[in-house]
Structure 1
Amino acid sequence: MALPASLTNFLPSSIRPSQPSRSLFGRPRSAAVSPGARFTRCALNVEDQDVARRSANWKPSVWDYGFVQSLDADFAVDKYTEQVHRLKEEVKGQFHREMNQVAELEFIDVVQRLGLGYHFETEIKNALISIYNNTEDVQLSDDLYAASLLFRLLRQHGYNVPQDVFQRFMNKTGTFDESFKKDVKGLLGLYEASFHGLEGETIVDEAWNFASKHLKDLNLDEVPANVASHVSHALDMPIHWRPNRLEARWFMHMYGKQQDRIPSLLRLAKLDFNLVQSIHKKEVSNMARWWVELGANKMTFCRDRLVEHYFWCCAMVFEPQYTDFREMTTKLTNMVTLIDDIYDVYGTLEELELLTDFIVRWDITDIDKLPLTIRACFLALYNTTNEIGYWTIRERGINPIPYMRKVWADECKAYIKEARWYNNGIKPTLKEYMDNAVDSVGGMIVLLGSYFLTTDKLTEEGLDYVSKIPSLMHCSSKILRLNNDLSTSSYELAQGDNFKALKCYMNETGASEEAAQEHIRHLVRETWKRMNRAVFENNLYPGFGPFLNAGLNLARASQCFCQYGDEHGLSDHETKVHIMSALFEPVPLD
């Protein structure tokens, strides 16, 4: 397969191939070869130097790019403008009606789970301030559900409610009273609240153990169908770990079945979902056009996951006003995967050492020393990054390129370290591996961008702070890495890839694969606790809100994508179902 013409356009004219080159794409590192690896002969550059390269056998994209490019903002905004405005005013009025604290908390919860929280930030903030300042009634009641809902919503919004709120539901032995095991609503609320715990909070840990055990022990045939659905949904994944767009789609269906539903609220949720989805359709169409024009959809050595990458970015920041973030971050995530697959799939160790030097120096002088394919991919990365930097200078007045260069350099240093381990037969400990793998997973570059591409109050001080990788970014990337390794380890090891977290732990301890999986899941839960605290501690600069949410949402996207296997690497059924419901299929209005 020849290098796509659009990719050769990234090359200086003096080093473009004068004729189509042979078979340019394949898979990595020739020094240490897996017995099952398949080889192809590939022309590296214009001199047609032959190098044997492994193939990852990545599945092709499941999306027809003709279909994706044809998508448009087909939900007529003008047709519904007046109705949406009227419905929003009606819902605002609901915040001011007389209701007790529990009813007010339930209303806020419904608004958020329907995906409408961003429309009513002021109303929600004012309501929660009032509730936080007057929590005696809830805190002194014996209602486990009410206490759990209070704890979850206040912590979600930055109020560090003490874990002692649950102490009155416990006995003298430090465990929850067994009488509550029959309170299904209370158990469900306690379970959801427990995911907002912090490190060292033993009461919240016990809440998770107690609620998990008794919810799993329930005979769902003996409880009402709607309760059973909520329990199954929660045990599958808690609210705190779910991407909002997917939760909104599911919750609309469930809320529509409630007898006490508010029709105007449900109608607004459906209209808003479709209007936002229409914007997302247009964006992903633009991104597909960019990807095809780049010619990257023709490359076979790397994963072609343009639509999946866009959906990750949409999960991070879905609000309609952030088109620039989603489009530019989709480009960055595609570059991450492209360069990752060069290190993991295409390049020899010598080529990767040279590529790393170019990226660290951020210099295209003597770029012709790189093989043609690697050269073109590096220039795509270089130009894309500089394009995003130019947009930020123009729109925000501050140059982010030095910060982006550093993150790319750190990422590629992590890649090359893994390549050296692989080629030299080194088996790192889990700690050695994770210290490096948090950088190599690619989360840092998109989280850095989530600050300067969303805030309208960009400052050098804020950018300096984010560039030092605060705890929020580190935890989010660590969760991404752990979830990725849980889902991809068996597949990638079968392809002869690097060791992953599971294998490192098994090598180090002699543990079984099942025990290793449980240990990695434990690390995920512990890292979520650290990230929960980081959200309290990191809201330091104006305009940080979208950045903090993006950090949480990147971790949520990894929980969603990786739960049932390697949905990024393999692009199988579950991801396609998620994407169809979130991006392509409108919610029926009737």
Structure 2
Amino acid sequence: MAEMFNGNSSNDGSSCMPVKDALRRTGNHHPNLWTDDFIQSLNSPYSDSSYHKHREILIDEIRDMFSNGEGDEFGVLENIWFVDVVQRLGIDRHFQEEIKTALDYIYKFWNHDSIFGDLNMVALGFRILRLNRYVASSDVFKKFKGEEGQFSGFESSDQDAKLEMMLNLYKASELDFPDEDILKEARAFASMYLKHVIKEYGDIQESKNPLLMEIEYTFKYPWRCRLPRLEAWNFIHIMRQQDCNISLANNLYKIPKIYMKKILELAILDFNILQSQHQHEMKLISTWWKNSSAIQLDFFRHRHIESYFWWASPLFEPEFSTCRINCTKLSTKMFLLDDIYDTYGTVEELKPFTTTLTRWDVSTVDNHPDYMKIAFNFSYEIYKEIASEAERKHGPFVYKYLQSCWKSYIEAYMQEAEWIASNHIPGFDEYLMNGVKSSGMRILMIHALILMDTPLSDEILEQLDIPSSKSQALLSLITRLVDDVKDFEDEQAHGEMASSIECYMKDNHGSTREDALNYLKIRIESCVQELNKELLEPSNMHGSFRNLYLNVGMRVIFFMLNDGDLFTHSNRKEIQDAITKFFVEPIIP
């Protein structure tokens, strides 16, 4: 039943008592699924120092194994294998020097047809080099097109080798930039072949064929939504299933199997050690939430553990603990404000509340309804905590960025609330201009950038913020469009008519919902290609900042919205399984 408030409204905007008989719209969100008792019961043995010591021993052993990687022992293929495996397993932070040496060695031979002469090697090399921000032109694939300008079948007596080649071609094509039509063609060609094989094969999980399992995983989770912890967990299990015979072309490798087993052992141990730290942080988050004032407000999404997943699954490294915890609190606050502005609050209440929020005006808090008082105090405490930590890390210059993105975000919410209240559908461009602000991506990225330990200056942060940052603008636009595509039905059910789909249909008379969806999908694809170029081309932007935009921004958004809104519907199996795999259950050695 909708909650009623009694009181008088103010027309001058200076105060806001509850509106009389205000009928509340609610999202009917399911409650928190992760009880404090359960979170506090988590108890990983991997926090013990003995596991940390053993990890260091393994790291040193593997470092010694690959220290001669560019000599007679290992060639280009082995170096590609090393970089690919340690990065996919999430242990690359332990081998930065070795990876740089291997990549430089690979790049030295990139234009040698004697080495990169077949499609499989070109696809492998292209993907590794582009992922690591070396200059790699997609023109290298032109030599594999037939006389009619189309990719043609690559016949081989070894069907498994062809299957692996097609998988590598498909994965390379996922890293396309704008106007790289050849990669679109490669993706279509490889996709058609791989999907045909999967369809013919039947139950892949039952077969336990590791290569087919990887193909199925690649289609289910495209590169743009392949979270680092998801990639590590999945590849550990594929590697184990293969008994460390990583490639069907393994006879080409000179890497002894004992090396592969050592790397797998390290990956499992490292995953479990990191999980123990994540469990400790989840306990802190759960205690904070249990003692917070906002827990008594039941109209909004209680998603503190899902918010932690948002930050910890891509930003998993130990040094980002403070960033993870504070950004989890920030995300929880944003869920509360999102549900107040989108559904629960009335426009008469929201106007003065917006003024109070954008100014952090404590003196006017008592003028608002009780639920808004709680929301403000909850939000303000988080703001003070983050601002204090940000100033400690970087200095007082960060305040103007925190305040600027916060004001823009809240005012965009207010605009949408007014559209909802008046049943107004704005034009498509007007909607998007406001929607990129209300997407929340700018406020999330700015706070995360400031909370990371990477040194920042006023000049650097200005370059990373809107309007200077094309990456930030693209990420905000992608977030808004993807969210609208996935949430269209839910938003209509709540009375929210102003989505990019409705606005497109209004501007394009006679267009259907399908026309609008097709247009948005094309627009999203174009934006993703542009963002790929921004984040994967060589540039002066610090690698940790680019990884933040890529992993915490694009990949989390696409993962959480891949099959519906997992932020809202976190009772779905996909998100519950992911949280359990990454943060609850250790991988058995």
Distance 1:430 1:244 in 2: 35
Which residue matches 1:17?
Answer: none
Q: Choose 303-312 or 90-99, whichever is displaced more.
A: 90-99
User: Paired residue for 2:151, among 147, 155, 176?
Assistant: 176
Q: 1:351 to 1:230 in 2, by over 3 A?
A: same
Q: Give the partner amino acid of 1:523.
A: R
* Preserved contact between residue 73 and residue 282 of structure 1 (Cα < 8 Å): no
Give the drift of 1:374: 1.4
Q: TM-score, with normalisation over the residues of structure 2?
A: 0.87
Distance 2:234 2:90 in 1: 11
Q: Choose 251-260 or 140-149, whichever is displaced more.
A: 140-149
Work out whether 1:216 is the aligned partner of 2:205. Answer: no
Q: TM-score, with normalisation over the residues of structure 1?
A: 0.87
Over aligned residue pairs, what C-alpha RMSD do you find? 2.5
* Preserved contact between residue 386 and residue 401 of structure 1 (Cα < 8 Å): no
Q: Give the partner amino acid of 2:498.
A: F
Give the drift of 1:198: 0.8
Work out whether 1:90 is the aligned partner of 2:47. Answer: no
Listed one character per residue, the Cα deviations across residues 317-348 of structure 1 (whole Å, up to 9, x for unaligned) are 11011100000100111111111111012211
Which residue matches 2:274?
Answer: 276
Listed one character per residue, the Cα deviations across residues 262-315 of structure 1 (whole Å, up to 9, x for unaligned) are 111111000000000110111111011111111323311111001000000113
Distance 2:505 2:269 in 1: 50
Distance 1:85 1:588 in 2: 19
Q: For residues 418-433 of structure 1, what are the structure 2 equivalents within 5 Å?
A: 418-433=416-431
* Preserved contact between residue 368 and residue 375 of structure 1 (Cα < 8 Å): yes
Give the drift of 1:138: 5.5
Distance 1:209 1:503 in 2: 31
Give the drift of 1:249: 0.7
Q: 1:515 to 1:74 in 2, by over 3 A?
A: farther
Distance 2:18 2:474 in 1: 45
Distance 1:441 1:391 in 2: 24
Distance 1:538 1:52 in 2: 54
Give the drift of 1:443: 1.3
Which residue matches 2:4?
Answer: 41
* Preserved contact between residue 339 and residue 378 of structure 1 (Cα < 8 Å): no
* Preserved contact between residue 539 and residue 545 of structure 1 (Cα < 8 Å): no
Distance 2:213 2:515 in 1: 30
Q: Choose 379-388 or 147-156, whichever is displaced more.
A: 379-388
Distance 2:190 2:390 in 1: 47
Distance 2:144 2:538 in 1: 32
Q: Choose 124-133 or 477-486, whichever is displaced more.
A: 477-486
Q: 1:511 to 1:216 in 2, by over 3 A?
A: farther
Distance 2:232 2:49 in 1: 23
Distance 1:419 1:306 in 2: 25
Give the drift of 1:466: 2.2
Listed one character per residue, the Cα deviations across residues 498-527 of structure 1 (whole Å, up to 9, x for unaligned) are 433334344544455455444433333222
Distance 1:371 1:165 in 2: 63
Listed one character per residue, the Cα deviations across residues 394-418 of structure 1 (whole Å, up to 9, x for unaligned) are 2333442221111011111211121
Distance 1:485 1:538 in 2: 32
User: Paired residue for 1:159, among 134, 139, 159?
Assistant: 134
* Preserved contact between residue 270 and residue 587 of structure 1 (Cα < 8 Å): yes
* Preserved contact between residue 343 and residue 416 of structure 1 (Cα < 8 Å): yes
Secondary structure of 1:366's match?
helix
Distance 1:515 1:79 in 2: 59
Paired residues in the alignment total 550
Distance 2:474 2:538 in 1: 12
Listed one character per residue, the Cα deviations across residues 531-575 of structure 1 (whole Å, up to 9, x for unaligned) are 11212568535xx32221111112111221111222111212211
Secondary structure of 1:316's match?
coil
Distance 1:251 1:387 in 2: 38
In the alignment, structure 2 segments of 5+ residues that lack a partner are: 8-15, 247-259
User: Paired residue for 2:180, among 193, 198, 201?
Assistant: 201
Give the drift of 1:316: 3.4
Which residue matches 1:312?
Answer: 310
Give the drift of 1:139: 7.6
Q: For residues 341-356 of structure 1, what are the structure 2 equivalents within 5 Å?
A: 341-356=339-354
* Preserved contact between residue 410 and residue 438 of structure 2 (Cα < 8 Å): yes
* Preserved contact between residue 120 and residue 168 of structure 2 (Cα < 8 Å): yes
Which residue matches 1:478?
Answer: 477
Distance 1:145 1:429 in 2: 48
* Preserved contact between residue 41 and residue 50 of structure 1 (Cα < 8 Å): yes
User: Paired residue for 2:112, among 134, 137, 146?
Assistant: 137
Secondary structure of 2:363's match?
coil
Q: 1:110 to 1:133 in 2, by over 3 A?
A: same
* Preserved contact between residue 167 and residue 203 of structure 1 (Cα < 8 Å): yes
Q: For residues 163-562 of structure 1, what are the structure 2 equivalents within 5 Å?
A: 163-179=138-154, 183-222=162-201, 225-259=209-243, 260=245, 262-469=260-467, 470-509=469-508, 510-536=510-536, 539-540=539-540, 544-553=542-551, 554-562=553-561
Q: 1:354 to 1:48 in 2, by over 3 A?
A: closer
* Preserved contact between residue 115 and residue 269 of structure 1 (Cα < 8 Å): yes
Give the drift of 1:159: 1.3
Listed one character per residue, the Cα deviations across residues 399-450 of structure 1 (whole Å, up to 9, x for unaligned) are 4222111101111121112122222222234433222212112111111122
Give the drift of 1:451: 1.4
Q: Percent same amino acid at aligned positions?
A: 31
Listed one character per residue, the Cα deviations across residues 148-169 of structure 1 (whole Å, up to 9, x for unaligned) are 1111111111113111111101
Which residue matches 2:39?
Answer: 68
Listed one character per residue, the Cα deviations across residues 237-259 of structure 1 (whole Å, up to 9, x for unaligned) are 23453001011111111101224
* Preserved contact between residue 398 and residue 460 of structure 1 (Cα < 8 Å): no
* Preserved contact between residue 472 and residue 538 of structure 1 (Cα < 8 Å): no
